[in-house]
Chains A and B, each alone.
Chain A
Amino acid sequence: MRHDGATLIACASVRARAFVLVTAAALAVFALLLIAAGKNPVRAYADTLVYVFGNTYGFTELVVRMIPLMLTAVAAALPARIGLINVGAEGQLYMGACLATAGALAFSDQPAFILLPLLTVCGFVGGGAWALIAAALRALRLVNETISTLLLNYIAPLIVSYFIFGPWRSPETASYPQSPLFADAARLPTFFHSRVHFGLVYALAALVLYWFVLARTWIGLDMRAIGGNPEAARRLGIPIGRFILVVMFVAGGVAGLAGMAEVTAIQGRLVSEISPGYGFIGFLVSWLAGTSAGGIVIMSFLFALISSVGDVLQITQGLPYAVVNILMAVILFVVLGRRTVGSGPR
């Protein structure tokens, strides 16, 4: 299909207008709920705009939130291209964080230029190995990957809790279960005197590689063949089983990087609450973006912005952060309800 520039711009502006309408409708519904709860939605929205765009702190915090969303979205998008449904980025993120912590505690005497690449590998392998369980079960045609990745999501945080309540429990802060603080050499660097960290480079690199491999290489061609018609791909001699294993390992690894970055850059230690559901939101980001790399960036921005609304509700209106999940769900429902028969990714 060829597009000339004018058609492309027209298409984009129609889609942008539709999206603004969707967001406005969702904000209105959420406002009604807030009024019902006795809160002031107009002030909450205004506060959010000031918080995010009024100073560098709010905006950099938004970028910080985008990093795990972009990474977990890639973790969902990559398997989606060969027809696999990876709903397990949450668990993969936790296992990446877990193995990265193991590395940080074991090799704390190493200098940063050795330690940081090592921890990156640890995070990638931790998440990848966790996804490999579901991939192997799927490749052997034993268990559907949707249900196995979902179940593994609930096991991974328990493994993290086991370690921070047990072997890795920090002796200094005995009342609060967490691992000891990592050595300085194990801390991922941050930029611009903010919490924006090197994970941003991982996320952007993952997106560019994702786009490049799918669009420009024979691997992408094979993957699209499997995604389009697995039976035909098998008859062409494409090793589908191997693709399932490798693609899921890489996808899990990318989600694991999100976990590695959260513990090494943001927390500086392993804690039980690494992620407020980044993995699940990443799946929805990838789905809304139609698994396109550019779309993932835009949707991650939108969902990070929504989570800033949650921060503001918590700080200024005394509501729990989780309430913002309603706003996210309403946007999703409106988008889902707008899709007409047969359009969009299924």
Chain B
Amino acid sequence: MMNTALIVGLISGAILSGTSLLYATLGEIFGERSGIVNLGLEGIMLIGAASGFAATALTGSPYLGIIAAAFAGTAANLIFAYVVISRNANQLAAGLSLMFFGIGLSTLIGQPFVGSLITGLPRLALPDFEAASIGARILSYDLLVYLAVPVAIAAWWLLFRTRWGLQLRTVGESPAAAFAAGAQPWRLQYQALAIAGALGGIAGAHMSIALTLTWADGMTAGRGFIAIALVIFAKWNPLWAIAGALLFGAAEGLQLQLQAAGADVSPFIMNMTPYLLTLAVLILWGWRRQFAAPAALGRNFAGVE
């Protein structure tokens, strides 16, 4: 009995924390496939979490909250896009600036809503289950959870099965070649970063609107950086990102379950798991010399003379 509860908790925990990570990772994949590293993902997630929560508290509708978070994430990411694409700024410095911008702006947006109560994103139960059964607990989630895998598949299809995706990936490998082939590198990069901002905003909103149901300063607690590491883990492929997000979600879920079960492990040691796991995976990838990064990642395209 104890074990079933533990396993149920673990699976649903993995899916719930994995969802937010998956949206964020998919967003970063779009940006990095176009050749742009965005270290500001953490800030985008915070802005999404705060503005989504604020919109939900004001309108009473969590769905409007998600839409607001997607727009806020896009708007903030377009500032970053302008600075790195049109003004050729250093991507790492601009990304860290975006992170600080997100920390500050989300605090400002969230401040009036500290302690507010909201009705979160409703869980959509499948009809055949009784509400209290174990099946219902594993298999009833909010809309964003159900959409996460389809969105990942759609992202894969967009990147690998459409002309737009081919052009985008070419920009990430060699902007000059893409330009010569008739693509518009800057425009594609703007589009990629707009999508990344929307997904990052949704990722943050899922945490505040569906999981914690409160706003707290800095509540994403480094998940933006885990998502950036997950991109490498997933080898820049949205389908691998599903597996990665589930694995990392499970690590986080395991830690909550062990704490709930009263295991005698310091919570701080447990909290290190996702970061240590990421480092271990990166070391393994490096060991096997599996570098699949887009060739022009992190470099600015200054145009062809």
Q: Are B282 and A142 in contact (CB under 8 A)?
A: yes
Q: Are B104 and A325 in touch, CB under 8 angstroms?
A: yes
Residue of A143, A325, A345 near B100 (CB, 8 A) is: A325
- Report if A336-B286 is in contact (Cβ < 8 Å); known contacts: A155-B272, A322-B107, A325-B100: no
Q: State how many angstroms separate the Cβ of B303 from the closest Cβ of chain A.
A: 8
The answer to whether A114 has its CB under 8 Å from any CB of chain B is no
User: CA separation between A328 and B103, bound complex, in Å?
Assistant: 11
Contact A37 B108 (CB under 8 A): yes
Chain A residues whose CB sits within 8 angstroms of the CB of B217 once the complex forms: 320, 322
**How close is A281's CB to chain B, nearest CB, in angstroms?**
8
**Residues of A contacting B101 in the complex (Cβ-Cβ under 8 angstroms):** 325-326, 329-330, 333
Assembled-state Cα–Cα distance A319/B101 (Å) = 16
Which B residues lie within 8 Å of A155 (CB)? Answer: 272, 275-276
Interface window among A43-51, A52-60, A144-152: A144-152
Known A147-B282, A165-B268: A323·B93 in contact at CB below 8 Å: no
- List A contacts of B90 (CB < 8 A): 287, 336, 344-346
Q: Which of B83, B92, B111, B287 sits near A87, CB closer than 8 Å?
A: B92
Judged by a CB distance under 8 angstroms, whether B89 is at the interface is yes
Q: Is there contact, CB below 8 Å, between A324 and B225?
A: no
Q: How far is the CB of A83 from chain B (nearest CB, A)?
A: 13
Q: Render A174-208 as a binary contact track against B, CB cut-off 8 A, 1 for contact.
A: 00000000000000000000000000000000000
Is A337 part of the contact surface with B, judged by Cβ < 8 Å? yes
Please, which residue of chain B has its CB at the minimum distance from the CB of A318?
B111
Q: Is A301 an interface residue (CB 8 A)?
A: no
Q: How many A-B residue pairs have CB under 8 A?
A: 139
A112 interfacial contact with B, CB 8 Å: no
Residues of A within 8 A of B105 (CB): 326
B93 contact set on A, CB distance < 8 A: 283-284, 287, 332, 336
A19 within 8 A of B: no
Determine the chain B residues whose CB is within 8 A of the CB of A287 once the complex forms. Answer: 90, 93
**B268 CB contact (under 8 Å) in A161, A320, A338:** A161
Interchain CA distance A227-B103 in the complex, whole Å? 33
B91-128 interface mask toward A, CB cutoff 8 Å, 1 = contact, 0 = none? 01110111111011101100100000000000000000
0/1 interface trace, chain B 213-236, chain A, CB 8 Å (1 if under)? 000011000100100110010000
Smallest beta-carbon distance A46→chain B, Å: 20
**Chain B CB within 10 Å — which of A87, A161, A287, A332 has the most?**
A332
Q: Are A162 and B92 neighbours in the complex by a CB distance under 8 Å?
A: no
A residues within 8 A CB of B92? 85, 87, 146
Q: Point out the residues of chain A lying under 8 angstroms from B98, CB to CB.
A: 329
**Which of B225, B279, B282 has the largest number of chain A CB atoms within 10 A?**
B279
Contacts A325-B104, A326-B104, A336-B94 given: A165-B266 contact, CB under 8 Å?
Answer: yes
- What is the size, in residues, of chain A's interface with B at 8 Å between Cβ atoms? 52
Rounded to whole angstroms, the CA-CA distance of A72 and B300 in the bound complex is 27
Given contacts A151-B225, A154-B222, A284-B97, contact A323 B275 (CB under 8 A): no
Answer yes or no: B87 CB below 8 A from chain A CBs: yes
Is B103 touching A325 in the complex (CB atoms < 8 A)?
yes
Complex-state Cα separation, A162 to B232, whole angstroms: 29
Report how far A313 CA is from B269 CA in the complex, Å: 36
Select one of A85, A332, A339 contacting B97, CB under 8 A. A332
A263 to B100, CA, bound (A): 25
B86 to chain A, nearest CB (A): 8
CB <8 Å contact, B107 and A339: no
Asked if A147 and B228 make an inter-chain contact with CB atoms under 8 angstroms apart, the answer reads yes
List of B residues within 8 angstroms of A332 by Cβ: 93-94, 97, 100
B104 x A327 contact (CB < 8 A): yes
The answer to the question of B302 belonging to the interface, with a C-beta cut-off of 8 Å to chain A, is yes
Cα distance A165–B143 in the bound complex, in angstroms: 38
Known contacts A87-B92, A337-B83, A339-B89, A143 near B225 by CB under 8 Å = no
Contact indicator B271/A137 (Cβ below 8 Å):
no
Which residues of B have CB within 8 Å of A146?
Answer: 92
Is A42 located at the chain interface by the 8 A CB criterion?
no
Q: Mark A302-346, 1 if CB is under 8 A from B, else 0.
A: 000000000000000001101111111110110011111110111
Q: Once the chains are docked, how many angstroms separate the CA of A37 from the CA of B103?
A: 16
- Contact of A137 with B283 at beta-carbon distance under 8 Å, contacts A336-B89, A339-B88 already known: yes
- In the complex, besides A332-B93, A346-B90, 19 extra interface pairs with C-beta distance below 8 angstroms are A37-B108, A85-B92, A87-B39, A140-B286, A142-B283, A151-B225, A154-B275, A158-B268, A158-B271, A319-B108, A320-B217, A324-B104, A325-B100, A329-B104, A332-B97, A336-B83, A337-B89, A339-B87, A342-B302
9 nearest CB pairs, A to B? A325-B104, A326-B104, A142-B286, A329-B101, A336-B89, A332-B97, A162-B268, A322-B107, A325-B100
Which residues of A are in contact with B by a Cβ distance under 8 Å? 33, 37, 85, 87, 137, 140-143, 146-148, 150-152, 154-155, 158-159, 161-162, 165-166, 277, 280-281, 283-284, 287, 319-320, 322-330, 332-333, 336-342, 344-346
